A and B are shown apart, each in its own frame.
Chain A
Amino acid sequence: MAQDSAPSQPNLWPYVLPTVLVLGACTLYPIATVLWMSLHDWTWGGDSVFSGLKNFKLLWLKGSFVIALMNTVTFAISAVLVELVLGMILALAANRVTRGAGVFRVLMILPLMVSGIAVSLVWKVLLDPTFGVINAALAGVGLPEPNWLGSTSTAMASLVMVETWWQTGFVFIILAAALKSLPEEPFEAARLEGANGWQMFRYLTLPMLRPVIVTVVVFRLIDTLKVFDLVFGLTGGGPLRATEAVQTLTYQTAFKFSNFGEAAAIVVIFSALIFAICAAYGALDRRTGGAE
Protein backbone atom coordinates (compact mmCIF):
# COMPACT_ATOMS: atom_id res chain seq x y z
CA MET A 1 0.00 0.00 0.00
CA ALA A 2 1.48 3.24 -1.10
CA GLN A 3 0.46 5.68 1.56
CA ASP A 4 2.51 8.78 1.96
CA SER A 5 1.44 10.56 5.10
CA ALA A 6 4.41 12.90 5.03
CA PRO A 7 3.82 16.52 5.96
CA SER A 8 5.44 18.01 2.86
CA GLN A 9 3.59 16.00 0.26
CA PRO A 10 4.67 16.71 -3.27
CA ASN A 11 1.63 17.56 -5.36
CA LEU A 12 1.20 14.87 -7.97
CA TRP A 13 -1.60 16.47 -9.96
CA PRO A 14 0.75 17.54 -12.76
CA TYR A 15 1.53 13.87 -13.30
CA VAL A 16 -2.09 13.08 -14.01
CA LEU A 17 -2.94 16.22 -15.92
CA PRO A 18 -1.76 15.08 -19.40
CA THR A 19 -3.80 11.90 -19.04
CA VAL A 20 -6.86 13.85 -18.01
CA LEU A 21 -6.42 16.20 -20.98
CA VAL A 22 -5.85 13.47 -23.57
CA LEU A 23 -8.63 11.34 -22.16
CA GLY A 24 -10.90 14.36 -22.11
CA ALA A 25 -10.13 15.16 -25.74
CA CYS A 26 -10.46 11.56 -26.84
CA THR A 27 -13.57 10.56 -24.87
CA LEU A 28 -15.49 13.50 -23.39
CA TYR A 29 -15.46 15.47 -26.61
CA PRO A 30 -16.71 12.49 -28.67
CA ILE A 31 -19.40 11.64 -26.12
CA ALA A 32 -20.73 15.19 -26.09
CA THR A 33 -20.54 15.48 -29.87
CA VAL A 34 -22.26 12.18 -30.53
CA LEU A 35 -25.08 13.07 -28.17
CA TRP A 36 -25.50 16.37 -29.97
CA MET A 37 -25.32 14.76 -33.43
CA SER A 38 -27.89 12.14 -32.54
CA LEU A 39 -30.43 14.89 -31.99
CA HIS A 40 -29.85 16.50 -35.38
CA ASP A 41 -30.23 15.90 -39.08
CA TRP A 42 -26.49 16.08 -39.34
CA THR A 43 -24.42 17.18 -42.29
CA TRP A 44 -20.74 17.99 -41.83
CA GLY A 45 -20.04 21.67 -42.36
CA GLY A 46 -23.56 22.36 -43.57
CA ASP A 47 -26.69 23.30 -41.66
CA SER A 48 -27.58 20.68 -39.14
CA VAL A 49 -31.20 20.91 -38.19
CA PHE A 50 -32.35 19.97 -34.71
CA SER A 51 -34.62 16.99 -35.06
CA GLY A 52 -35.25 15.87 -31.50
CA LEU A 53 -35.60 12.14 -31.19
CA LYS A 54 -36.30 11.62 -34.87
CA ASN A 55 -33.10 9.64 -35.44
CA PHE A 56 -33.96 7.28 -32.64
CA LYS A 57 -37.54 6.86 -33.93
CA LEU A 58 -36.23 6.11 -37.39
CA LEU A 59 -33.92 3.45 -36.02
CA TRP A 60 -36.89 1.76 -34.48
CA LEU A 61 -39.07 2.10 -37.56
CA LYS A 62 -36.45 0.89 -40.04
CA GLY A 63 -35.87 -2.21 -38.01
CA SER A 64 -32.33 -2.79 -39.23
CA PHE A 65 -30.90 -1.60 -35.93
CA VAL A 66 -33.06 -4.01 -33.97
CA ILE A 67 -31.96 -6.85 -36.23
CA ALA A 68 -28.30 -5.86 -35.87
CA LEU A 69 -28.63 -5.61 -32.09
CA MET A 70 -30.25 -9.05 -31.87
CA ASN A 71 -27.58 -10.52 -34.14
CA THR A 72 -24.83 -8.94 -32.10
CA VAL A 73 -26.20 -10.15 -28.79
CA THR A 74 -26.69 -13.65 -30.20
CA PHE A 75 -23.15 -13.63 -31.54
CA ALA A 76 -21.65 -12.30 -28.32
CA ILE A 77 -23.43 -14.67 -25.96
CA SER A 78 -22.81 -17.75 -28.09
CA ALA A 79 -19.16 -16.91 -28.66
CA VAL A 80 -18.44 -16.12 -25.02
CA LEU A 81 -20.15 -19.31 -23.86
CA VAL A 82 -18.20 -21.49 -26.27
CA GLU A 83 -14.93 -19.72 -25.52
CA LEU A 84 -15.50 -20.05 -21.78
CA VAL A 85 -16.26 -23.78 -21.93
CA LEU A 86 -13.38 -24.53 -24.32
CA GLY A 87 -10.99 -22.25 -22.46
CA MET A 88 -11.85 -23.95 -19.18
CA ILE A 89 -11.39 -27.44 -20.60
CA LEU A 90 -8.03 -26.46 -22.08
CA ALA A 91 -6.90 -24.76 -18.87
CA LEU A 92 -7.81 -27.84 -16.82
CA ALA A 93 -6.02 -30.06 -19.31
CA ALA A 94 -2.93 -27.83 -19.36
CA ASN A 95 -2.92 -27.85 -15.57
CA ARG A 96 -2.52 -31.63 -15.60
CA VAL A 97 0.42 -31.88 -17.93
CA THR A 98 4.01 -30.94 -17.34
CA ARG A 99 5.80 -31.58 -20.60
CA GLY A 100 5.07 -29.48 -23.66
CA ALA A 101 3.00 -26.91 -21.76
CA GLY A 102 5.17 -24.06 -23.06
CA VAL A 103 4.81 -25.10 -26.69
CA PHE A 104 1.10 -25.49 -26.25
CA ARG A 105 0.84 -22.01 -24.75
CA VAL A 106 2.59 -20.52 -27.76
CA LEU A 107 0.26 -22.39 -30.11
CA MET A 108 -2.75 -21.10 -28.19
CA ILE A 109 -1.70 -17.45 -28.31
CA LEU A 110 -0.85 -17.51 -32.03
CA PRO A 111 -4.42 -16.75 -33.19
CA LEU A 112 -4.57 -13.84 -30.71
CA MET A 113 -1.69 -12.21 -32.54
CA VAL A 114 -3.57 -12.10 -35.84
CA SER A 115 -5.70 -9.13 -36.83
CA GLY A 116 -9.42 -9.69 -37.29
CA ILE A 117 -9.14 -8.84 -40.95
CA ALA A 118 -6.37 -11.38 -41.55
CA VAL A 119 -8.37 -13.95 -39.60
CA SER A 120 -11.27 -13.23 -41.94
CA LEU A 121 -9.17 -13.77 -45.04
CA VAL A 122 -7.74 -17.00 -43.66
CA TRP A 123 -11.15 -18.43 -42.93
CA LYS A 124 -12.69 -17.16 -46.13
CA VAL A 125 -10.24 -19.37 -47.95
CA LEU A 126 -10.66 -22.32 -45.57
CA LEU A 127 -14.46 -22.15 -45.66
CA ASP A 128 -14.78 -21.63 -49.41
CA PRO A 129 -17.68 -23.88 -50.45
CA THR A 130 -16.06 -25.11 -53.65
CA PHE A 131 -12.33 -25.03 -53.17
CA GLY A 132 -11.94 -24.79 -49.36
CA VAL A 133 -10.02 -27.47 -47.54
CA ILE A 134 -12.72 -27.93 -44.92
CA ASN A 135 -15.43 -28.87 -47.37
CA ALA A 136 -12.93 -31.00 -49.25
CA ALA A 137 -12.27 -32.88 -46.02
CA LEU A 138 -16.00 -33.22 -45.31
CA ALA A 139 -16.58 -34.53 -48.83
CA GLY A 140 -13.72 -36.95 -48.35
CA VAL A 141 -15.55 -38.62 -45.43
CA GLY A 142 -18.93 -38.35 -47.10
CA LEU A 143 -20.43 -35.57 -44.97
CA PRO A 144 -22.59 -32.74 -46.35
CA GLU A 145 -20.73 -29.63 -47.43
CA PRO A 146 -22.42 -26.53 -45.98
CA ASN A 147 -22.22 -23.16 -47.67
CA TRP A 148 -20.72 -21.82 -44.45
CA LEU A 149 -20.76 -18.06 -44.91
CA GLY A 150 -23.15 -17.94 -47.83
CA SER A 151 -26.26 -19.36 -46.23
CA THR A 152 -28.49 -17.53 -43.76
CA SER A 153 -28.78 -20.66 -41.66
CA THR A 154 -25.06 -21.19 -41.11
CA ALA A 155 -23.47 -17.73 -41.48
CA MET A 156 -23.90 -16.72 -37.84
CA ALA A 157 -22.66 -20.08 -36.57
CA SER A 158 -19.66 -19.78 -38.87
CA LEU A 159 -18.87 -16.36 -37.46
CA VAL A 160 -19.05 -17.74 -33.93
CA MET A 161 -16.76 -20.57 -34.93
CA VAL A 162 -14.15 -18.22 -36.39
CA GLU A 163 -14.38 -15.91 -33.37
CA THR A 164 -13.89 -18.93 -31.13
CA TRP A 165 -10.79 -20.01 -33.05
CA TRP A 166 -9.48 -16.46 -32.74
CA GLN A 167 -10.06 -15.67 -29.07
CA THR A 168 -10.33 -18.88 -27.03
CA GLY A 169 -6.61 -18.55 -26.34
CA PHE A 170 -7.28 -15.41 -24.29
CA VAL A 171 -9.76 -17.18 -22.04
CA PHE A 172 -7.40 -20.13 -21.79
CA ILE A 173 -4.39 -18.00 -20.80
CA ILE A 174 -6.27 -16.25 -18.03
CA LEU A 175 -8.00 -19.30 -16.64
CA ALA A 176 -4.73 -21.26 -16.75
CA ALA A 177 -2.94 -18.52 -14.81
CA ALA A 178 -5.78 -18.41 -12.30
CA LEU A 179 -5.75 -22.19 -11.90
CA LYS A 180 -2.04 -22.13 -11.25
CA SER A 181 -2.46 -19.50 -8.54
CA LEU A 182 -4.99 -21.59 -6.57
CA PRO A 183 -3.73 -22.96 -3.24
CA GLU A 184 -3.04 -26.69 -3.14
CA GLU A 185 -4.15 -27.51 0.39
CA PRO A 186 -7.94 -27.44 -0.15
CA PHE A 187 -7.56 -29.95 -2.98
CA GLU A 188 -5.39 -32.23 -0.91
CA ALA A 189 -7.86 -32.02 1.94
CA ALA A 190 -10.72 -32.81 -0.45
CA ARG A 191 -8.85 -35.79 -1.84
CA LEU A 192 -8.40 -37.11 1.68
CA GLU A 193 -12.16 -36.75 2.13
CA GLY A 194 -12.56 -38.93 -0.95
CA ALA A 195 -13.84 -36.30 -3.38
CA ASN A 196 -13.66 -37.21 -7.06
CA GLY A 197 -12.41 -34.98 -9.87
CA TRP A 198 -15.80 -33.60 -10.81
CA GLN A 199 -16.68 -32.81 -7.19
CA MET A 200 -13.41 -30.99 -6.68
CA PHE A 201 -14.05 -28.98 -9.82
CA ARG A 202 -17.65 -28.22 -8.88
CA TYR A 203 -17.10 -27.36 -5.22
CA LEU A 204 -13.55 -26.02 -5.12
CA THR A 205 -12.17 -24.91 -8.48
CA LEU A 206 -15.27 -23.22 -9.82
CA PRO A 207 -16.10 -21.17 -6.69
CA MET A 208 -12.48 -20.10 -6.28
CA LEU A 209 -12.25 -19.07 -9.93
CA ARG A 210 -15.52 -17.18 -9.84
CA PRO A 211 -14.11 -13.64 -9.69
CA VAL A 212 -11.71 -14.38 -12.54
CA ILE A 213 -14.47 -15.98 -14.61
CA VAL A 214 -16.67 -12.93 -14.09
CA THR A 215 -13.87 -10.63 -15.23
CA VAL A 216 -13.09 -12.74 -18.29
CA VAL A 217 -16.75 -12.98 -19.25
CA VAL A 218 -17.24 -9.22 -18.97
CA PHE A 219 -14.15 -8.48 -21.05
CA ARG A 220 -15.02 -11.03 -23.72
CA LEU A 221 -18.67 -10.00 -23.73
CA ILE A 222 -17.88 -6.36 -24.36
CA ASP A 223 -15.28 -7.26 -26.94
CA THR A 224 -17.63 -9.54 -28.85
CA LEU A 225 -20.49 -7.04 -28.66
CA LYS A 226 -18.15 -4.61 -30.39
CA VAL A 227 -17.54 -7.14 -33.18
CA PHE A 228 -16.60 -5.39 -36.40
CA ASP A 229 -13.56 -6.86 -38.16
CA LEU A 230 -14.88 -10.40 -38.63
CA VAL A 231 -18.24 -9.30 -40.02
CA PHE A 232 -16.57 -6.69 -42.19
CA GLY A 233 -14.08 -9.22 -43.51
CA LEU A 234 -16.15 -12.40 -43.75
CA THR A 235 -19.75 -11.58 -44.60
CA GLY A 236 -20.15 -7.82 -44.81
CA GLY A 237 -23.28 -8.34 -42.72
CA GLY A 238 -24.91 -10.73 -45.16
CA PRO A 239 -26.38 -12.87 -46.38
CA LEU A 240 -29.64 -10.91 -46.09
CA ARG A 241 -28.48 -9.16 -42.91
CA ALA A 242 -28.14 -12.49 -41.15
CA THR A 243 -24.84 -11.34 -39.65
CA GLU A 244 -25.26 -7.55 -39.59
CA ALA A 245 -23.72 -6.33 -36.33
CA VAL A 246 -24.23 -3.04 -34.49
CA GLN A 247 -20.80 -1.69 -35.32
CA THR A 248 -20.93 -2.68 -39.00
CA LEU A 249 -24.36 -1.08 -39.25
CA THR A 250 -22.94 2.06 -37.66
CA TYR A 251 -20.14 2.09 -40.21
CA GLN A 252 -22.53 1.59 -43.13
CA THR A 253 -24.94 4.22 -41.89
CA ALA A 254 -22.23 6.81 -41.38
CA PHE A 255 -19.70 6.18 -44.09
CA LYS A 256 -21.70 4.49 -46.86
CA PHE A 257 -24.95 6.42 -46.55
CA SER A 258 -23.51 9.54 -44.89
CA ASN A 259 -26.35 9.47 -42.41
CA PHE A 260 -24.32 10.68 -39.45
CA GLY A 261 -27.23 11.69 -37.25
CA GLU A 262 -28.67 8.20 -37.37
CA ALA A 263 -25.25 6.60 -36.93
CA ALA A 264 -24.75 8.80 -33.88
CA ALA A 265 -28.07 7.60 -32.49
CA ILE A 266 -26.93 4.00 -32.87
CA VAL A 267 -23.67 4.83 -31.12
CA VAL A 268 -25.51 6.52 -28.25
CA ILE A 269 -27.72 3.52 -27.60
CA PHE A 270 -24.88 1.05 -28.01
CA SER A 271 -22.50 3.00 -25.78
CA ALA A 272 -25.19 3.22 -23.11
CA LEU A 273 -25.45 -0.57 -23.24
CA ILE A 274 -21.69 -1.00 -22.85
CA PHE A 275 -21.65 1.58 -20.07
CA ALA A 276 -24.39 -0.31 -18.25
CA ILE A 277 -22.41 -3.55 -18.43
CA CYS A 278 -19.28 -1.79 -17.12
CA ALA A 279 -21.23 -0.15 -14.30
CA ALA A 280 -22.83 -3.44 -13.30
CA TYR A 281 -19.42 -5.09 -13.36
CA GLY A 282 -17.93 -2.24 -11.31
CA ALA A 283 -20.67 -2.53 -8.72
CA LEU A 284 -20.30 -6.30 -8.59
CA ASP A 285 -16.53 -6.01 -8.36
CA ARG A 286 -16.76 -3.52 -5.50
CA ARG A 287 -19.22 -5.70 -3.66
CA THR A 288 -17.02 -8.75 -3.94
CA GLY A 289 -13.99 -6.71 -2.91
CA GLY A 290 -12.20 -6.80 -6.26
CA ALA A 291 -9.54 -4.36 -7.42
CA GLU A 292 -10.36 -0.79 -6.49
Chain B
Amino acid sequence: MTRARRATILSYAILILAGFLSLFPILWIMGISLKTQADAFAMPPKLIFVPIWDHYAKVWGDAAFIKGFFNSVLAALLGNLMAFVIGIPAAFALNQRRVPARGAILAWLLLSYMLPEFLFVIPMYGLFQATGLYDSVFGLALVYQTFTLPFTIWMMRAFFADVPFALYEAARLEGAKSWQILLRVYLPMAAPGIAATAILNTIRIWNELAIALGLTFDKAQTVTLAVAAYRGYASIDWGALSAAAITSMLPMLIFAVLAQRQIVGGLSLGAVK
Protein backbone atom coordinates (compact mmCIF):
# COMPACT_ATOMS: atom_id res chain seq x y z
CA MET B 1 0.00 0.00 0.00
CA THR B 2 1.43 3.38 -0.97
CA ARG B 3 1.94 6.28 1.42
CA ALA B 4 -0.68 8.38 -0.40
CA ARG B 5 -3.25 5.62 -0.09
CA ARG B 6 -2.54 5.15 3.59
CA ALA B 7 -2.93 8.88 4.13
CA THR B 8 -6.26 8.89 2.31
CA ILE B 9 -7.56 5.98 4.38
CA LEU B 10 -6.39 7.70 7.57
CA SER B 11 -8.16 10.87 6.42
CA TYR B 12 -11.39 9.00 5.92
CA ALA B 13 -11.04 7.39 9.34
CA ILE B 14 -10.50 10.78 10.99
CA LEU B 15 -13.43 12.36 9.18
CA ILE B 16 -15.80 9.51 9.96
CA LEU B 17 -14.83 9.60 13.63
CA ALA B 18 -15.20 13.40 13.77
CA GLY B 19 -18.52 13.26 11.95
CA PHE B 20 -19.77 10.66 14.37
CA LEU B 21 -18.63 12.68 17.41
CA SER B 22 -20.29 15.75 15.94
CA LEU B 23 -23.60 14.05 15.41
CA PHE B 24 -23.74 11.63 18.32
CA PRO B 25 -24.64 14.03 21.17
CA ILE B 26 -27.53 15.46 19.18
CA LEU B 27 -28.79 12.03 18.18
CA TRP B 28 -28.48 10.74 21.72
CA ILE B 29 -30.51 13.60 23.16
CA MET B 30 -33.04 13.14 20.40
CA GLY B 31 -33.29 9.53 21.56
CA ILE B 32 -33.80 10.54 25.18
CA SER B 33 -36.48 13.00 24.14
CA LEU B 34 -38.38 10.00 22.77
CA LYS B 35 -37.77 7.63 25.71
CA THR B 36 -39.83 6.99 28.78
CA GLN B 37 -38.32 8.13 32.06
CA ALA B 38 -37.40 4.56 32.89
CA ASP B 39 -35.74 3.99 29.53
CA ALA B 40 -33.81 7.26 29.80
CA PHE B 41 -32.30 6.34 33.16
CA ALA B 42 -31.77 2.69 32.32
CA MET B 43 -28.30 1.30 33.00
CA PRO B 44 -26.72 0.32 30.67
CA PRO B 45 -28.33 2.84 28.29
CA LYS B 46 -30.97 1.43 25.98
CA LEU B 47 -30.30 1.61 22.26
CA ILE B 48 -33.57 -0.02 21.25
CA PHE B 49 -36.76 1.41 22.69
CA VAL B 50 -40.35 2.25 21.85
CA PRO B 51 -40.54 5.98 21.05
CA ILE B 52 -43.09 8.10 22.87
CA TRP B 53 -44.15 11.68 22.13
CA ASP B 54 -45.18 12.64 25.65
CA HIS B 55 -42.20 14.93 26.26
CA TYR B 56 -42.80 16.91 23.10
CA ALA B 57 -46.47 17.17 24.00
CA LYS B 58 -45.42 18.58 27.35
CA VAL B 59 -42.96 21.10 25.89
CA TRP B 60 -45.32 22.21 23.15
CA GLY B 61 -48.05 22.55 25.72
CA ASP B 62 -45.85 24.83 27.79
CA ALA B 63 -47.16 28.34 27.12
CA ALA B 64 -43.87 29.93 28.21
CA PHE B 65 -41.92 27.80 25.76
CA ILE B 66 -44.24 28.55 22.85
CA LYS B 67 -44.09 32.24 23.67
CA GLY B 68 -40.30 32.10 23.73
CA PHE B 69 -40.23 30.28 20.42
CA PHE B 70 -42.33 32.89 18.67
CA ASN B 71 -40.59 35.79 20.36
CA SER B 72 -37.35 34.47 18.87
CA VAL B 73 -38.96 34.20 15.44
CA LEU B 74 -40.07 37.80 15.79
CA ALA B 75 -36.67 38.92 17.08
CA ALA B 76 -34.97 37.23 14.10
CA LEU B 77 -37.35 38.91 11.65
CA LEU B 78 -37.04 42.32 13.26
CA GLY B 79 -33.31 42.04 13.77
CA ASN B 80 -32.77 41.11 10.13
CA LEU B 81 -35.13 43.78 8.89
CA MET B 82 -33.35 46.51 10.84
CA ALA B 83 -29.92 45.25 9.86
CA PHE B 84 -30.76 45.18 6.15
CA VAL B 85 -32.70 48.44 6.00
CA ILE B 86 -29.95 50.27 7.86
CA GLY B 87 -26.98 48.24 6.73
CA ILE B 88 -27.49 47.84 2.98
CA PRO B 89 -27.23 51.55 2.12
CA ALA B 90 -24.23 51.79 4.43
CA ALA B 91 -22.56 48.81 2.78
CA PHE B 92 -23.22 50.37 -0.61
CA ALA B 93 -21.66 53.67 0.44
CA LEU B 94 -18.74 52.11 2.32
CA ASN B 95 -17.94 49.98 -0.69
CA GLN B 96 -17.13 53.19 -2.54
CA ARG B 97 -14.24 55.24 -1.38
CA ARG B 98 -15.68 58.65 -0.92
CA VAL B 99 -17.39 58.51 2.44
CA PRO B 100 -15.66 60.65 5.04
CA ALA B 101 -14.26 58.68 7.98
CA ARG B 102 -14.77 55.45 6.07
CA GLY B 103 -11.90 53.66 7.79
CA ALA B 104 -13.05 54.78 11.23
CA ILE B 105 -16.59 53.55 10.62
CA LEU B 106 -15.33 50.15 9.46
CA ALA B 107 -13.10 49.80 12.52
CA TRP B 108 -15.96 50.88 14.75
CA LEU B 109 -18.19 48.19 13.21
CA LEU B 110 -15.64 45.49 13.89
CA LEU B 111 -15.19 46.65 17.46
CA SER B 112 -18.92 46.74 18.07
CA TYR B 113 -19.08 43.15 16.88
CA MET B 114 -16.33 42.13 19.28
CA LEU B 115 -17.16 43.95 22.53
CA PRO B 116 -18.66 41.88 25.38
CA GLU B 117 -22.45 41.59 25.68
CA PHE B 118 -22.70 42.99 29.18
CA LEU B 119 -21.11 46.24 28.07
CA PHE B 120 -24.37 46.78 26.20
CA VAL B 121 -26.69 44.99 28.59
CA ILE B 122 -25.88 46.90 31.78
CA PRO B 123 -26.44 50.47 30.54
CA MET B 124 -29.33 49.43 28.31
CA TYR B 125 -30.99 47.81 31.30
CA GLY B 126 -31.40 51.26 32.83
CA LEU B 127 -32.24 53.04 29.61
CA PHE B 128 -34.80 50.40 28.61
CA GLN B 129 -36.46 50.51 32.05
CA ALA B 130 -36.81 54.26 31.64
CA THR B 131 -38.08 54.19 28.06
CA GLY B 132 -40.33 51.15 28.22
CA LEU B 133 -38.15 49.11 25.87
CA TYR B 134 -37.31 46.70 28.68
CA ASP B 135 -38.82 43.27 28.13
CA SER B 136 -39.75 44.07 24.52
CA VAL B 137 -38.75 42.15 21.42
CA PHE B 138 -38.16 45.44 19.63
CA GLY B 139 -35.67 46.53 22.29
CA LEU B 140 -33.87 43.20 21.98
CA ALA B 141 -33.69 43.45 18.20
CA LEU B 142 -32.26 46.94 18.60
CA VAL B 143 -29.44 45.79 20.90
CA TYR B 144 -28.85 42.82 18.60
CA GLN B 145 -27.79 45.41 16.03
CA THR B 146 -24.47 45.60 17.88
CA PHE B 147 -23.61 42.37 16.10
CA THR B 148 -26.13 41.95 13.25
CA LEU B 149 -25.46 45.39 11.78
CA PRO B 150 -21.66 45.04 11.58
CA PHE B 151 -21.98 41.52 10.24
CA THR B 152 -24.57 42.54 7.64
CA ILE B 153 -22.53 45.51 6.47
CA TRP B 154 -19.37 43.44 6.38
CA MET B 155 -20.99 40.73 4.27
CA MET B 156 -22.93 43.00 1.94
CA ARG B 157 -19.87 45.13 1.31
CA ALA B 158 -18.00 42.03 0.21
CA PHE B 159 -20.83 41.06 -2.16
CA PHE B 160 -21.16 44.60 -3.52
CA ALA B 161 -17.43 44.68 -4.11
CA ASP B 162 -17.92 41.85 -6.60
CA VAL B 163 -20.20 44.00 -8.75
CA PRO B 164 -18.03 45.51 -11.53
CA PHE B 165 -17.76 49.26 -11.09
CA ALA B 166 -18.41 49.74 -14.82
CA LEU B 167 -22.02 48.70 -14.13
CA TYR B 168 -22.33 51.57 -11.68
CA GLU B 169 -20.94 53.95 -14.28
CA ALA B 170 -23.11 52.59 -17.05
CA ALA B 171 -26.18 53.09 -14.88
CA ARG B 172 -25.09 56.63 -14.04
CA LEU B 173 -24.75 57.42 -17.73
CA GLU B 174 -28.33 56.23 -18.16
CA GLY B 175 -29.37 58.80 -15.60
CA ALA B 176 -29.91 56.51 -12.62
CA LYS B 177 -29.57 58.06 -9.16
CA SER B 178 -27.47 56.34 -6.51
CA TRP B 179 -30.49 54.80 -4.82
CA GLN B 180 -31.78 53.49 -8.15
CA ILE B 181 -28.41 51.94 -8.88
CA LEU B 182 -28.45 50.32 -5.45
CA LEU B 183 -31.98 48.95 -5.83
CA ARG B 184 -31.92 47.90 -9.47
CA VAL B 185 -28.33 46.85 -10.08
CA TYR B 186 -26.49 46.08 -6.84
CA LEU B 187 -29.25 44.45 -4.82
CA PRO B 188 -30.40 41.97 -7.48
CA MET B 189 -26.80 41.00 -8.12
CA ALA B 190 -26.12 40.53 -4.42
CA ALA B 191 -29.30 38.52 -3.78
CA PRO B 192 -27.47 35.28 -2.91
CA GLY B 193 -25.39 37.30 -0.47
CA ILE B 194 -28.50 38.66 1.20
CA ALA B 195 -29.79 35.13 1.69
CA ALA B 196 -26.52 33.93 3.22
CA THR B 197 -26.32 36.96 5.48
CA ALA B 198 -29.91 36.61 6.64
CA ILE B 199 -29.39 32.95 7.47
CA LEU B 200 -26.30 33.64 9.55
CA ASN B 201 -27.97 36.59 11.30
CA THR B 202 -30.94 34.40 12.12
CA ILE B 203 -28.79 31.65 13.60
CA ARG B 204 -26.96 34.16 15.73
CA ILE B 205 -30.13 35.84 17.01
CA TRP B 206 -31.93 32.57 17.57
CA ASN B 207 -29.12 31.29 19.78
CA GLU B 208 -28.40 34.50 21.71
CA LEU B 209 -28.65 34.25 25.49
CA ALA B 210 -26.80 36.93 27.50
CA ILE B 211 -28.59 39.98 26.10
CA ALA B 212 -32.01 38.34 26.29
CA LEU B 213 -31.29 37.32 29.86
CA GLY B 214 -30.43 40.86 30.87
CA LEU B 215 -33.06 42.79 28.96
CA THR B 216 -36.19 40.65 29.17
CA PHE B 217 -38.19 39.46 32.10
CA ASP B 218 -41.36 37.79 30.97
CA LYS B 219 -43.30 38.76 27.87
CA ALA B 220 -40.29 39.10 25.57
CA GLN B 221 -38.42 36.00 26.76
CA THR B 222 -36.70 34.20 23.90
CA VAL B 223 -36.39 30.54 23.03
CA THR B 224 -32.97 30.25 24.65
CA LEU B 225 -34.42 31.49 27.93
CA ALA B 226 -37.31 29.09 27.59
CA VAL B 227 -34.81 26.27 27.12
CA ALA B 228 -32.74 27.51 30.04
CA ALA B 229 -35.83 27.20 32.21
CA TYR B 230 -35.60 23.42 31.71
CA ARG B 231 -32.13 23.41 33.20
CA GLY B 232 -33.61 22.70 36.61
CA TYR B 233 -35.00 19.42 35.27
CA ALA B 234 -31.51 18.10 34.67
CA SER B 235 -31.64 15.69 37.56
CA ILE B 236 -35.26 14.61 37.19
CA ASP B 237 -37.00 15.00 33.86
CA TRP B 238 -34.52 14.35 31.09
CA GLY B 239 -37.30 13.73 28.61
CA ALA B 240 -38.81 17.21 28.80
CA LEU B 241 -35.38 18.84 28.93
CA SER B 242 -34.27 16.95 25.84
CA ALA B 243 -37.48 17.64 23.97
CA ALA B 244 -37.09 21.36 24.73
CA ALA B 245 -33.46 21.37 23.58
CA ILE B 246 -34.28 19.47 20.39
CA THR B 247 -37.28 21.65 19.61
CA SER B 248 -35.19 24.79 19.99
CA MET B 249 -32.36 23.54 17.79
CA LEU B 250 -34.41 21.84 15.11
CA PRO B 251 -35.14 24.92 12.94
CA MET B 252 -31.45 25.79 12.80
CA LEU B 253 -30.41 22.18 12.12
CA ILE B 254 -32.80 22.13 9.18
CA PHE B 255 -31.23 25.40 8.00
CA ALA B 256 -27.82 23.77 8.18
CA VAL B 257 -28.88 20.90 5.96
CA LEU B 258 -30.79 23.01 3.43
CA ALA B 259 -28.51 26.04 3.26
CA GLN B 260 -25.16 24.37 3.82
CA ARG B 261 -23.55 26.19 0.91
CA GLN B 262 -24.62 29.65 2.03
CA ILE B 263 -23.64 29.02 5.65
CA VAL B 264 -20.21 27.65 4.80
CA GLY B 265 -19.63 30.37 2.21
CA GLY B 266 -20.76 33.12 4.56
CA LEU B 267 -18.66 31.90 7.48
CA SER B 268 -15.49 31.71 5.42
CA LEU B 269 -16.09 34.93 3.48
CA GLY B 270 -14.47 37.28 5.97
CA ALA B 271 -11.46 35.21 6.86
CA VAL B 272 -10.41 33.87 3.47
CA LYS B 273 -9.88 36.46 0.80
Chain A residues in 8 Å Cβ range of B169: 4
Determine the distance from Cα of A4 to Cα of B121 in the docked complex, in whole angstroms.
Answer: 41
Which chain B positions have C-beta within 8 A of A124?
A: 231, 234
A-B contact pairs, 15 of them (CB 8 A): A4-B98, A9-B98, A12-B92, A13-B99, A26-B149, A104-B15, A104-B18, A106-B256, A110-B253, A114-B26, A131-B41, A165-B22, A174-B268, A222-B114, A292-B106
Cβ of A51 within 8 Å of any chain B Cβ, yes or no, is no
A94 interfacial by beta-carbon distance below 8 Å: yes
Do residues B105 and A27 form an inter-chain contact, with CB atoms below 8 A?
no
Docked Cα-Cα span, A282 to B23, in Å, equals 36
Nearest 6 pairs of A and B residues by beta carbon:
A115-B207, A33-B123, A177-B268, A15-B93, A15-B89, A93-B11
Q: Does A2 contact B (CB under 8 A)?
A: yes
A228 touches B168 (CB 8 A): no
A189: Cβ under 8 A from any B Cβ: no
Total contacting residues, chain B, CB less than 8 A? 111
**Cβ–Cβ contact B123 & A29, under 8 A:** yes
Neighbouring B residues of A96 by C-beta, 8 Å: 7-8, 11
A27 to B121, alpha carbons, bound, how many Å?
Answer: 11
**Can you list, as one digit per residue, whether each of B151-173 has a CB less than 8 Å from chain A (1) or not (0)?**
00100000001000100110010
Structural contact, A110 and B22, CB atoms closer than 8 A: yes
Binding site secondary structure of chain A: helix
Tell me if A181 is interfacial: C-beta within 8 Å of chain B: yes
* B residues less than 8 Å from A212 (CB atoms): 271-272
* A56 lies within 8 A of chain B by Cβ: no
**A interface with B by C-beta (< 8 Å):** 1-4, 6, 9-10, 12-16, 18-20, 22-23, 25-27, 29-31, 33-34, 37, 44, 86, 89-90, 92-94, 96-97, 100, 102-118, 120-126, 128, 131, 133, 136, 140, 165, 169-170, 173-174, 176-178, 181, 197, 212, 215-216, 219, 222, 225-226, 228-229, 232-233, 246-247, 250-251, 254-255, 260, 263-264, 266-267, 270-271, 274-275, 277-278, 282, 291-292
- Compute the total of residue contacts between A and B using a CB distance below 8 Å: 321
Q: Would you call A3 and B165 a contact (CB within 8 A)?
A: yes
Asked if B19 and A174 sit within 8 Å, CB to CB, the answer is no
Cβ contact of A30, chosen from B114, B124, B224, cutoff 8 A = B124
Establish whether residues B234 and A125, one from each chain, have CB atoms under 8 Å apart when the complex forms.
yes
Q: Which residues of A contact B92 (CB under 8 A)?
A: 12, 15
